[in-house]
Amino acid sequence: MSPTDGAAQAAPHGAASQGRPVLSVRNLAKAFGSNVVLRDIDLDVRRGNVVALIGPSGSGKTTVLRSLNGLETPDAGTVTVAGPGTSAGPELALDFSAKVSKKEISDLRDRSAMVFQHYNLFPHMTVLQNVIEGPVQVQKRKRAEAVADAEKLLARVGLADKRDAYPFELSGGQQQRVGIVRALALKPQLLLFDEPTSALDPELVGDVLGVIQELADEGWTMVIVTHELAFARQVADEVIFMDGGLVVERGPAAEVLRAPRQERTRQFVRRLLHEF
Amino acid sequence: MPLNWDLIWSSFGPIVTGAVTGTIPLTLASFAIGLALALLVALMRLSRNAVVSGVARFYVSVIRGTPLLVQLFVIFYGLPSLGVKLDPWPSAIIAFSLNIGGYAAEVIRAAILSVPKGQWEAGHTIGMSRGQSLRRIILPQAARVSVPPLSNTFISLVKDTSLASLILVTELFRNAQQIAAFSQEFMVLYLEAALVYWIICLALSSGQSVLERRLDRYVAH
């Protein structure tokens, strides 16, 4: 379950934040015609750190996240992802100002894994098949090995008995936990979460957030787009507030969420915490 | 009108033989080839390349905009004037395959488009290429959606193969026609032919139900 494959990284966040950046984003920009969705976004995520992207809808936070997985192609800017492991592996650097090749996008996807708001499980596959599809079909790992790993991961999130169920037989919370396991099974450098609890019934949110909290405690490097500010405060090392395609404010979670410096952030946080 | 029972019984033999050696193989071969062609055309229509999708669009438009009988006649009676002489069977298979290719392409295209975009994205995010996502993620789901309309196409094809009698293919209806002409018992022979077509289509409909149930196992009921 650990991101570095055996070498457990249960370092507290304070120590982990000393690590080198797994992800560096510089000057990311994107526009649809005259509609600018991202301007000059910078982002650094150190190994074992959790960064929460918050902001109103349309602020560009999901576009940033999707760019990190090659689901959106920015017009300009660079994305650099460290190589696997703690050793200084080969870095992957994409410069979107130039033409980015399919191979580069595919390499970018190899290093990150996405958890979607609407889970996007494969409905025609069982839970187990969903989880081993990437490892077996894409990473060409041995099936038996992938199954063993998948079973371990499913047990970790309390879904061992659901391995042969189809997604429609699961609750939203269970489906999202499978979505998380499917991402973990790829052994990525970086986990990306796109509003992982927004589609869930309120009473199911806790299960999923619990799993994400555990992953954070284990030292996974994560970028999370979320509206759950209380959760962000608890789990994130850094919170970035975006609005209108810009980073309005960034800093340690407690500072940005408890004592925002910008008026715009203050309004947003107040509204979401229902403190009128 | 006294019924000629001897004729009724003795004519069933050639009619059923026509079904088994003509109608059914003609249908199966044309549907298989047509479906492969349809998948190709559907993917071409979904291509971002304007020329590729334009070619596919043109093909579908011609096939859907002209009568099947005319298509058959162009291939069997028309092509020889261009020096292309085809026997009845190859002519029929080519005409029916091209026809199915056009109709089923639209069904398959719609089925592919009906799969949510998030499924493509989930495929990409686990590292799959477009081709892999299509094969492993999208087409299995599109297949489920396209079974009912494709079954319609298939059942129509069974009946449409009777047109092949007009380009001299020995099949169910041609055998019925010949016996009718010889015996002058038109009503009896054509009703017999109709009955055999109906039985084949009933069998196909029940096959469709089985297939739909199988493909529905991963959908909430």
Tens of pLDDT, residue by residue over A152-202, are 999 999 999 999 999 999 999 999 999 999 999 999 989 999 999 988 888
Half-sphere exposure of B23 (CA within 13 A, CB side): 31
Q: Give B44-85 pLDDT, tens digit per residue.
A: 999 999 999 999 999 999 999 999 999 999 999 999 999 999
Confidence of residue A82 (pLDDT cuts 50, 70, 90): confident
Q: Which of A137, A168, A186 sits opposite B220 (nearest CB)?
A: A168
Counting residues of chain A whose pLDDT is more than 90, the rounded percentage is 68
* pLDDT value, residue A88: 53
- Does residue B27 carry a pLDDT above 50? yes
* Residue B218 contacts A where some CB pair is shorter than 8 Å: yes
Q: Do A109 and B127 touch (CB under 8 A)?
A: yes
Whether the predicted pLDDT of B204 surpasses 90 = yes
The length of chain A in residues reads: 276
Token representation of residue B169 = 């293919």
DSSP designation for A108: H
Closest B-chain CA to A107: B127
- Please give the Cα distance from A229 to B136 (Å, whole number): 37
Of A113, A118, A168, nearest to B218 by CB-CB distance is A168
Q: Are A232 and A226 in contact (CB under 8 A)?
A: yes
Please check whether residue B11 is in contact with residue B189, taking contact to mean a CB–CB distance below 8 angstroms.
Answer: yes
- Size (chain B), residues: 221
Q: Is A64 in contact with A242 (CB distance < 8 Å)?
A: yes
| B91 CB-contact burial (10 Å; exposed 0-12 / middle 13-18 / buried 19+) | buried
- Quick check: helix, strand or coil at residue A227? coil
Mean pLDDT computed over B145-163? 95
Please identify among residues 103-132 of chain B the ones whose CB lies closer than 8 Å to any CB of chain A: 116, 118-119, 121-122, 124-129, 132
Among A109, A137, A183, whose Cβ lies nearest the Cβ of B132?
A: A137
d(CA A229, CA A74): 27
Q: What is the CA radius of gyration of chain B?
A: 21
Amino acid A5: pLDDT: 47
Q: Which two tokens stand for residue B179?
A: 């016996």
Q: What is the mean pLDDT of chain A?
A: 88
Lowest mean pLDDT among A200-204, B114-118, B145-149, B156-160: A200-204
pLDDT in tens, A53-66: 999 988 999 999 99
Give the pair of three-digit tokens for residue A60. 């560009």
Q: State the amino acid at position A259 in one-letter form.
A: A
Please give the helix or strand (H or E) that residue A77 lies within, else none: strand A76-81
Sort out which chain A residues have CB atoms less than 8 A from B137's CB and list them: 122
**Neighbouring-strand partners of residue A24:** A44, A80
Query: Residue A118's pLDDT band (boundaries 50, 70, 90)?
Result: very high
Place of tokens 């609890």: A197
- Secondary structure of A173-214 as H, E, C letters: HHHHHHHHHHHHCCCCCEEEEECCCCCCCHHHHHHHHHHHHH
Residue of B11 and B33 predicted with greater confidence: B33
| Mean pLDDT to the nearest integer, B161-182 | 93
Dihedral over Cα of A128, A129, A131, A137: its sign: positive
Strand ranges across the sheet with A50-54 = A112-115, A190-194, A222-225, A50-54, A238-243, A246-252
Give pLDDT, residue A37: 92
Residues ≥6 apart with Cβ < 8 Å to A36 = A29, A30, A245
- pLDDT greater than 60 at residue A46: yes
| DSSP H or E stretch at residue A114 | strand A112-115
Q: Band of the pLDDT at A41, cuts 50, 70, 90?
A: very high
Sign of CA dihedral A87, A89, A95, A101: negative
Q: What is the model's pTM?
A: 0.87
Considering only the beta carbons, identify the residue of A71, A123, A134 that sits closest to B126.
A134
A122 touches chain B (CB under 8 A): yes
Distance between CA atoms of A223 and A243, rounded to whole angstroms?
A: 17
Tell whether B219 is within 8 A of chain A (Cβ).
Answer: yes
**pLDDT on residue A15:** 43
- State the complex-level ipTM: 0.88
Q: Say whether A274 sits in a helix, a strand or coil.
A: coil
- Determine the pLDDT at residue B6: 84
Torsional sign, CA B199, B205, B211, B213: negative
3 state SS of B128: coil
Tokens standing for B39? 């998948």
Q: Over 80: is that where the pLDDT of A255 sits?
A: yes
